[in-house]
Amino acid sequence: MSFTTDLLSIIASALISFSFLSLATFGIVLIFKTSSTTNFAQGMLGILGAYATSYFIDKQGVNDLTGLPSVVISSPWQLILPMLAGIAISFIAGLFIDVFIFRNAKYTNAGTKQIITMGLVIVITGLIPLIFGSTTRVSFAFTQKTWMLAGVALPVHQLITLAISFILIIFIFIMLKYTKWGLGVRSVASNERVAGLMGINTNVINALSWAIAGALGALSAMTYTAAIGTMSVMSMIDIQVNAFYASILGGFSTFFGPLGGAFLLTAGQAVFPKLLVSFNLAQWSNTVLYLAIIVAVLIKPVGLFGKKIVKKV
């Protein structure tokens, strides 16, 4: 393998992981900024949508011989409509969580909110087998094709995911910058009470943030579970934990910082095994990566792209 192939494959795998991670990270940041809590239920919200998608796809066809669902995807709509339904379910779930729970727990402390999100994780973990009948389901990829580019294998499913997440995130950034909703989110992020005093309906902003975070999580979960080929209740834990690391690496204080952190993290995930394998230490790559993140955060506690907030005493 030449150097360029190596480099290309590293960039490719970093970008591919980035496509799942960026969506989940953005959801977490959105909730962190508006509800000021670390949402441990982000992955679960997403998985709920992914299960729903898989359920709706399975509903489309049942094998006459075995009685088991076996779907042959012939038109793209067979995939897109269930996906939209799954995203809608996560969207609504997020909305309900804010309206019924977080709206009433607005002025409790951060630890309490964390525990509420943890309680949500437990509830959704129990709900999924009840609603969908089983703990594991089949996940569906957009396509099984693979492109070869300069010796690097690029699964088309991941490329489509990458395109979707790029478009979505750019769209959300434009919304944040130029619409009234975006202005509302930014003001709630800087100070919820003052934003309320200025006439912003903070309840709507918070509820929408949860809903959008849920929808992004669903998209992330669907595409990620399709890429790894299995789906279980615990599938999104890795992505979610990585999203937290990405957020502190980039810094929670801006919206783009965590995304930068997410890219650095996925790049690290691609680079470290390649570097360490020559010393026969490949199994330590995760440890080295986490250490690197912690060292970076210790040097810059507000994150690599974060702004320093001056505290008044």
Rounded Cα distance, 183 and 143, in Å: 38
Question: How many residues in the shown chain lie near another protein by CB under 8 A?
Answer: 46
Of 18, 19, 2, 43, the C-alpha closest to 268 is 18
Q: Of the ranges 87-95, 111-119, 165-173, 182-190, which one interacts with another protein (CB under 8 A)? A: 111-119
Determine the interface stretch with another protein among 29-37, 150-158, 186-194, 214-222 (rule: CB under 8 A): 29-37
Q: Rounded to whole angstroms, how far apart are CA atoms 194 and 168?
A: 30
Residues 87-106 that bind another protein (CB under 8 A): 101, 104-105
Shorter beta-carbon distance to another protein: residue 55 or 142: 55
21 versus 154: smaller Cβ distance to another protein: 21
Residue 263 neighbours by CB under 8 Å, 6+ apart = 14, 18, 22
Is 26 near another protein (CB under 8 A)?
no
**Contact criterion met (CB below 8 Å) for 231 and 50:** yes
The interface with another protein within residues 39-58 (CB under 8 A) comprises 40
Q: What does 190-245 look like in DSSP terms, one character per residue? A: H-HHHHHHTT--HHHHHHHHHHHHHHHHHHHHHHHHHHHS-EETTTTHHHHHHHHH
The per-residue b/e assignment along 239-251, b for 16 or more CB within 10 angstroms, e otherwise, is bbebbbbbbbbbb
In the shown chain, the binding pattern of residues 224 to 243 toward another protein, with x for contact by CB under 8 A and - for none, equals: -------------x---x--
Q: Which stretch binds another protein (CB under 8 A): 12-20, 155-163, 187-195, 282-290?
A: 282-290
Give Cβ neighbours of residue 120 (< 8 Å, ≥ 6 apart).
40, 41, 44, 97, 101
Under the binding rule (CB under 8 A), the answer on residue 276 touching another protein is no
- In the complex with another protein, the residue whose CB is nearer, 60 or 300, is 300
- Residue 181 CB-half CA count within 13 A: 14
Query: What is the nearest approach in angstroms of another protein to the Cβ of residue 310?
Result: 13
- CA 235 vs. chain centroid, Å, equals 12
**3-state SS of the chain: helix, strand, coil percent to 5?**
70, 5, 25
Amino acid identity at 75: S
Strand pairing report for 231-232 and 152-155: unpaired
Site for another protein in 243-272 (CB under 8 A): 244-245, 247-248, 252
Q: Does 213 bind another protein (CB under 8 A)?
A: no
Scan residues 70-89 and list those touching another protein (CB under 8 A): none
Could you say which residues in the range 127-186 bind another protein, by CB under 8 A? 127, 129-130
Q: Which is nearer to another protein, 132 or 181 (by Cβ)?
A: 132
Min dist. Cβ of residue 14 to another protein (A): 20
Decide whether 61 or 126 has the Cβ nearer to another protein: 126
Segment interacting with another protein, rule: CB under 8 A, options 4-12, 116-124, 178-186, 220-228: 116-124
Least Å distance between CB 106 and another protein? Answer: 11
* By CB under 8 A, residue 189 contacts another protein: no
Residue 37, token pair as written in the block: 């809590």
C-alpha span between 122 and 155 (Å, rounded): 34
What are the angstrom distances between the C-alpha of 169 and each of 166, 184, 298? Answer: 5, 18, 29
Where do contacts with another protein occur on this chain (CB under 8 A)?
A: 32, 36-38, 40, 101, 104-105, 108-112, 114-116, 118-123, 125-127, 129-130, 237, 241, 244-245, 247-248, 252, 283-284, 286-287, 290-291, 293-294, 297-298, 301, 313
